[in-house]
Amino acid sequence: MNIEPCSYVIFGATGNLSRVKLMPALYHLDVANRLPEGTRIIAIGRRPWNQLQWLNEVLDMIKAKVKEDFDEILFQRFSQRFHYHQGDINQPECYLSLANTLTQPEFPKNIAYYLSISPADFGSVMNLLSEQHLFNEDEGWRRIIIEKPFGYDLDSAQALQTKISHYLNEEQVYRIDHYLGKGMVQNVLVFRFANVMLEPLWNRNYIDHIQITHAESIGIDSRGDYYNSAGAMRDMLQSHLLQLLTLVTMEPPVSMDAESLRDEKVKVLKSIRPIPKEAVHAHTFRGQYTKGHVNGAKVPAYLDEANIPSNSTTETYASLKLYIDNWRWRGVPIYMRTGKRLAKAQSTISICFRHPPLQFFRDTEVHCMNQNWILLGIQPEECIRIEMTVKEPGLEMNTRTRSLDANFRNQDEKAIDAYEDLLLDVLKGDRSLFLRFDEVEHAWRIVDPILQTWAIERDYITTYPAGSWGPEDNRLFDKDNQYWRESLLPECK
Find the binder of ligand BG6 among 57, 208, 216, 473 (CB under 6 A).
216
In angstroms, the CA 374 to CA 170 distance is: 37
Euclidean distance between the first and the last CA atom of the chain, given in angstroms as a whole number? 51
CB closer to ligand BG6, 116 vs 403: 116
> CB of 379: closest distance to ligand BG6 in angstroms?
6
Residue of 235, 315, 387, 441 that binds ligand BG6 (CB under 6 A): 235
Question: Which residue in 28, 83, 214, 240 is the catalytic one?
Answer: 240
Rounded to the nearest angstrom, the gap between the alpha carbon of residue 393 and the centroid of all alpha carbons in its chain is 43
**How many of the chain's residues bind ligand BG6 (CB under 6 A)?**
4
As measured in angstroms, the least distance from the Cβ of 2 to ligand BG6 is 31
Min dist. Cβ of residue 130 to ligand BG6 (A)? 28
Considering the rule CB under 6 A, would residue 417 count as an interface residue with ligand BG6? no
- CA 208, 440, 434, 232 dihedral sign is negative
Return the number of the residue (271 or 346) whose C-beta is nearest ligand BG6: 346
Burial 374-387 (b: 16+ CB within 10 A, else e): bbbbbbeebbbbbb
> Strand 434-435 relative to strand 317-322: parallel, antiparallel, unpaired?
unpaired
For residue 155, the Cα-to-chain-centroid distance in whole angstroms is 22
- Taking the C-alpha atoms of residue 288 and residue 317, their distance in angstroms, rounded to an integer, is 6
| Least distance between ligand BG6 and beta carbon 6 (Å) | 25
What helix, strand, coil percent values describe the chain, rounded to 5?
A: 40, 20, 40
User: Helix H segments across 132-182?
Assistant: 154-167
Q: How far is the CB of 76 from ligand BG6 (least distance, A)?
A: 30
Residues 462 and 195 sit within 8 Å (Cβ to Cβ): no
Q: How far is the CB of 148 from ligand BG6 (least distance, A)?
A: 6
Burial class (CB in 10 A: 0-12, 13-18, 19+), 193: middle
Touching ligand BG6, residues 26-85 (CB under 6 A): none
Do 123 and 163 form a contact (C-beta atoms < 8 A)?
Answer: yes
What is the rounded distance in angstroms from the CA atom of residue 125 to the CA atom of residue 12? 12
Q: Which residue's Cβ lies closest to ligand BG6?
A: 235
Contacts of 469 (CB under 8 A, 6+ apart): 215, 342, 343, 484, 486
CB of 64 to ligand BG6, least distance (A): 16
> Binding pattern to ligand BG6, positions 117-156, x when CB under 6 A?
-------------------------------x--------
Least distance from ligand BG6 to the Cβ atom of residue 230, Å = 8
Burial string for 57-93 (b: 16+ CB within 10 Å, else e) reads bbbebbeebbeeeeeeeebeebbebbbbbbbebeeee
d(CA 377, CA 387): 13
Neighbours of 209 (CB within 10 A): 20
Rounded to whole angstroms, how far apart are CA atoms 153 and 404?
42
Site string for ligand BG6, 166-205 (x = CB under 6 A): ------------x---------------------------
CB 449 within 8 A of CB 278: no
In angstroms, the CA 339 to CA 236 distance is 9
Question: Does the annotation mark 240 as catalytic?
Answer: yes
295 or 481: CB nearest ligand BG6: 295
Catalog residues that contact ligand BG6 under the rule CB under 6 A: 148, 178, 216, 235
User: Catalytic residues, which ones?
Assistant: 240
